Amino acid sequence: MARAERKAAAAESAKTGVMTHRQIMLVLAGLMSGMFLSALDQSVVGSAMRTIADDLQGLELQAWATTAYLITSTITTPLYGKLGDIFGRRRLFIFAIIVFVVGSVAGAFSNSMFELAAWRAFQGIGAGGLFTLSLTILADIVPPRERARYQGMFMAVFGTSSVLGPLIGGLFADIDTFLFIDGWRWIFLINLPIGIVALLMVVAFLHVPHTARKSRIDWWGAAAIIVAVVPLLLVAENGRDWGWDSSSSIALYVTGAIGIVAFILIERKMGTDAILPLHLFKSRTFSMTTIMGVIVGVGMFGGMMTIPLILQIVDGASPTEAGLLMIPMTIGMMTASMGSGIITGRTGKYKIFMIGGTGLMTISYIYFGQMTYDWEVWQISIGMVVLGLGLGQLMQTLTVAAQNSVEAANIGVATSSSTFFRQMGGTAGVAVFLSILFATLADKGTWIGEQIAAVLKAKPELMSLPENAVLTQAGPGGLSDLVAKDSSFLQTISPEISEPILVAFTQAGVVVFNSAAAVIAVAFVLSWFVKEIPLRTQSGVAAKAAEARLESMG
């Protein structure tokens, strides 16, 4: 296409909000670059955090580097959604990429865990916009009926990054130096070339028309959401160590509750200018999909984090190997995401995928609930495929349903709210289910001790072996406490001694899977009551342009 023709097409799309397939694909290239940047970083850093903490001599502070990123990325998610509705997505997306890349490069040269935590917090400010703005911009340019098909590409990017992340993180973590720089620092530096490519593609191709509208900025709402969310995230991340009923935890509960009440009162007063306009919840579809998003987030993240732990602790896989062994779930997720997107585009139906997705997730967790310690990897893979097939149907469908249930002017708010509540549910799920996992393991401490005592009575010579010296390091909580802190000893001690611990850990995992099945079953029941609103045939930008033309004519 000649330059003049491209300019003419761009001018036409700016007027009507209708973009050609070629224009959409070019925009998607930029969006997926930004999403890949964010998704890859999460899995890369997680697989190498222990190496980073050891090098910076701050092992006890490693949780803060993760928590700082989680806090800023979560609280900025709804802000990006609202500000994008007011000022336009393009400049905010560019801002998010720049902040993310600057935070990455600065974090790479941290000399302490405190510095790293600070730069991870800065990095999270950018990350909060990358995911939610990508989905919102897609909603701007693609009608809801066709959107699920394109979102399948996003799921492919997300799935690819989840596989590549642990591999890249493990590779750099195992290298002492590369080009005279510590290996682990490249985990952050690789974001520089990826970020530059993403930025160039966004600047070149992301020209989404924006209909400006006057609106007050909800500063008090922003402050209230910080007061509400930060304490709850802190207790979710640290409650297991502090104690869920400790004075610190209770103080955070109270602070968070005050913030929630203040946020609701402020949003009610701000009306349509609120960060999260409460009138959106008058839509039964929006309310139900939001509730389902929270429940799915709890069950999804809470159950999924147990699978790699079992692969590493029970099956002896390294973090990198565990990432590779999760590929069956990724394949199931990508297959279901693309398949459901194509079917939704052809039929306009999406409720069936909420029912099918939650149903398959429930079945997968019930299947995992039958697990025994001697399960082979292929048996675990079957459950992961089913879980992936359920997730692939759900993730994009919930977002599309929420976007379709609100007016075009609030697509950004609907998208960011959907993402925000799912993130909060996921954070709560990880906190609750990790507590269930290790509390159940601790309850089995007496049984573990009795089994090991029986083994040593039959084979007293095992106690004299150097690899079993760890038995003397067990505190009042027994070996189950050691497993919660560092399970690496399970790969070196005598198999006769490790077997009772592995059996107990598997049984604790089964409790988690059964609990996750019960949680997702609630979402399955709710899915039948979602009101299926016919999917619009106009994109968000086209709908806004049409509204603007009507206003100018009137």
Q: What is the pLDDT of residues 141-192, one digit of tens each?
A: 887 777 767 777 777 777 777 777 777 777 777 777 777 788 788 888 888 8
Q: CB of 145 within 8 A of CB of 404?
A: no
- Residue 288 CA, chain-centre distance (Å), reads 20
Rounded-to-integer distance, Cα 450 and Cα 453, Å: 5
pLDDT attached to residue 170: 72
* pLDDT score for 513: 95
d(CA 43, CA 297): 18
Whether 130 and 100 have beta carbons less than 8 Å apart is answered as: yes
Backbone angles phi, psi at 377, to 5 degrees: -60, -35
Structure confidence by residue, pLDDT tens digits, 516-553: 999 999 999 999 999 888 887 666 666 666 655 655 55
Strand partners, 478: 475
Residue segments in the chain with a per-residue pLDDT below the cut of 50: 1
In terms of Cβ atoms closer than 10 Å to its own Cβ (0-12, 13-18, 19+), residue 256 is: buried
On the CB side of 142, how many CA atoms lie within 13 Å of its CA? 25
Q: Where are the alpha helices (DSSP H) in 243-376?
A: 247-270, 284-304, 306-313, 319-325, 327-347, 351-368
| Residues whose CB falls within 8 Å of the CB of residue 251, separated by 6 or more in sequence, listed in order | 231
What element of type H or E holds 177?
strand 177-178
Domain annotation for the chain: domains and CATH numbers: 1-213 (1.20.1250.20), 219-274 (no CATH), 280-444+506-532+540-554 (1.20.1250.20), 445-505 (no CATH)
Strands 177-178 vs 181-182: parallel, antiparallel or unpaired: antiparallel
Phi first, then psi: give them for residue 478, nearest 5 degrees: 75, -170
- 457-475: string of b/e by CB count within 10 Å (b at 16+)? eeeeebeeeeebebbeebe
Least Cα distance to 417 among 529, 540, 525, 280 occurs for 280
Q: How many CA atoms lie within 13 A of 375 on its CB side?
A: 24
219-223, long-range: CB < 8 A, 24+ apart: 220/266, 220/270, 221/263, 221/266, 221/267, 221/270, 221/274, 221/275, 221/276, 222/79, 222/275
How far apart CA 451 and CA 478 sit, in angstroms, is: 12
